Amino acid sequence: MKKKLVIATRRSRLAMWQAEHIKEKLEALHKGLQVELLPLSTRGDELLDRRLDDAGGKGLFVKELETALAEARADLAVHSMKDVPAELPPGFSIAAIPAREDPRDVLVSKRFASLAEMPAGGTIGTSSLRRSAQIVERYPALDIRLLRGNVDTRLAKLDRGDYDAIVLAVAGLKRLGLEARATASLSEDEMLPAPGQGALGIECLAAREEVVALLAPLADGSTTACVLAERAVSRALGGNCSLPLAAFAQANMDNMRLRALVASADGRRVVRCELEGDIADPLALGERAAQELRRQGASEILGFA
């Protein structure tokens, strides 16, 4: 058995927590295994003055980590699955998706208890087209403003008064012990999550069979199936973060329920679907959802009809 593994990770406090979490699980599973962290800065962490879709997409958070894997400086990388592009480069594999944390979004505000309470012109910080489109659909009078940076940076900007409220993934707050900062949970009906939100993905080179074998026990079957279905929707519709797209699957025994939506960036057009399928074939369910969204006009909304 391999005696040492190196995990490539982003440098943010949340990314480091996630990598440390996987490190502890691996060392507990495989006695005698040493695991080290290799913190790296990514372009996604450095480019804070624009939305990701304007700067090059989700791959900005993973490219440097994948380079470390390709150059054998690291054996695996830990990602938030919502940051992983729908298509991986040739030779790379998501070897394990552990059990998911709460996938929902939350409102964080020092002034307002809910989105419905916010007055016309109230400012909400987010860099997510998915979040902004769903907010504007219901609350068109609110002012959506760009908010980039890690969780601590975003909270600091809120506390400084730059925004009346911000929207964050509750999973990140929980992992950092900051769940008390959440003002209100947003139900899936109010804010459908991003594909893979709340789930971690462990990536390695597909040819590294010994690493794949060490990671296999970390995988959670139900979470993996749900995330695969969600990502299949994204892949079938173009697969990058310039899409105001949401997808969320829930497993129930042998069945899976998948909800998905596509929206115009201004929130004026939103198409939704809800389907059920066999948990054993999540990719087929995701592709069916994409077809249904296209039938309702998703291609036209996304600009490639």
CB 70 within 8 A of CB 203: no
CA–CA dist 93, 205 (Å, integer)? 6
Report the alpha-carbon angle 101-244-246, nearest 5.
Answer: 35
| Structural domain 235-302, CATH architecture | 2-Layer Sandwich (3.30)
Residues of the chain with CATH 3.30.160.40: 235-302
Q: 4-99+199-219: CATH homologous superfamily?
A: Periplasmic binding protein-like II (3.40.190.10)
CB 142 within 8 A of CB 150: no
Known catalytic residues? Answer: 83
Q: What is the pLDDT of residues 277-296, one digit of tens each?
A: 999 999 999 999 999 999 99
CATH number of 105-186: 3.40.190.10
CA–CA dist 201, 125 (Å, integer)? 27
The pTM of this model reads 0.91
CA–CA dist 282, 272 (Å, integer)? 18
Which of 267, 273, 275 shows the shortest CA–CA distance to 301?
267
CA–CA dist 32, 20 (Å, integer)? 17
CA–CA dist 188, 207 (Å, integer)? 38
CB 192 within 8 A of CB 131: no
Q: What is the pLDDT of residues 219-277, one digit of tens each?
A: 999 999 999 999 999 999 986 556 789 999 999 999 999 999 999 988 889 999 999 99
CB 144 within 8 A of CB 130: no
Q: Residue 37 pLDDT > 70, yes or no?
A: yes
Q: In the prediction, which pLDDT does 148 show? A: 86
Kindly state the average pLDDT of the residues 186-192.
Answer: 95
CA–CA dist 112, 182 (Å, integer)? 11
CB 75 within 8 A of CB 208: yes
Quote the tokens at residue 67. 């380079």
Q: What is the pLDDT of residues 47-104, one digit of tens each?
A: 544 545 544 455 567 889 999 999 999 999 999 999 899 999 999 999 999 999 999 9
Q: In the prediction, which pLDDT does 303 show? A: 78
Q: What is the pLDDT of residues 191-219, one digit of tens each?
A: 999 999 999 999 999 999 999 999 999 99
SS3 sequence, 96-114?
ECCCCCCCCEEEECCCCCC
Residues of the chain with CATH 3.40.190.10: 4-99+199-219, 105-186
CA–CA dist 73, 6 (Å, integer)? 8
How would you class 82 by CB atoms within 10 Å of its CB: exposed for 0-12, middle for 13-18, buried for 19 or more?
Answer: buried
